[in-house]
Structure 1
Amino acid sequence: MTRPVIVVVGAGPGVSGSVARRFAREGYDVGLLGTDGEQLVQLAGELEALGAAVGRTVVDVTDAEATTAAIQRFGGFADRIDVLHFNPSAFREKDPLELTVPELLEDVALGVGALLTAVQAARPFMSGGGRVTVTGSMAADKPWNRAASLGVQKAGVRNLVRSLDATLAPDGIRAVTVTVRGTLSTEGAFTPDNVADALWSAAHQVVADWQVEVPYAG
Structure 2
Amino acid sequence: MSRPVIVVVGAGPGVSGSVARRFAGEGYDVGLLGAEQAVLDDLVPGLEALGAAVGHTVADVTDEQAARDAVRRFGEHTGRIDVLHFNPSAYREQDPLSLSVPELLEDVALGVGALLTVVQAARPYMSAGGRISVTGSMAADEPWEGAASLGVQKAGVRNLVHSLDKTLADDGIRAVSVTVRGALAREGAFTPDRVADALWAAVARDESGWTSEVPYSG
- Relative to the length of structure 1, the TM-score reads 0.99
* Residue matched to 2:210: 210
Q: Deviations over 1:177-206 (max 9, x none)?
A: 000000000000000000000000000112
Does residue 96 (structure 1) correspond to residue 96 (structure 2)? The answer is yes
* Residue matched to 1:183: 183
* Residue matched to 2:198: 198
List structure 1 segments (4+ residues) > 6 angstroms apart after TM superposition.
Answer: none
1:182 is paired with a residue of what secondary structure?
coil
1:208 is paired with a residue of what secondary structure?
coil
Q: Which runs of 5 or more residues in structure 2 are unaligned?
A: none
> Residues 4-153 of structure 1: matches in 2 within 5 Å?
4-153=4-153
Question: How much has 1:44 moved relative to structure 2?
Answer: 1.1
One-letter amino acid of the counterpart of residue 175, structure 1: A
CA distance in 2: counterparts of 1:35 and 1:79, whole angstroms: 24
CA distance in 1: counterparts of 2:202 and 2:210, whole angstroms: 9
Q: Deviations over 1:51-95 (max 9, x none)?
A: 111010111100110111111111111210000000000000000
CA distance in 2: counterparts of 1:110 and 1:45, whole angstroms: 28
CA distance in 2: counterparts of 1:65 and 1:166, whole angstroms: 26
- Relative to the length of structure 2, the TM-score reads 0.99
CA distance in 1: counterparts of 2:52 and 2:206, whole angstroms: 26
CA distance in 2: counterparts of 1:46 and 1:69, whole angstroms: 26
CA distance in 2: counterparts of 1:56 and 1:77, whole angstroms: 12
CA distance in 2: counterparts of 1:63 and 1:31, whole angstroms: 18
Question: How much has 1:208 moved relative to structure 2?
Answer: 1.1
CA distance in 1: counterparts of 2:126 and 2:9, whole angstroms: 16
RMSD across aligned positions (CA): 0.5
How many residues get paired? 218
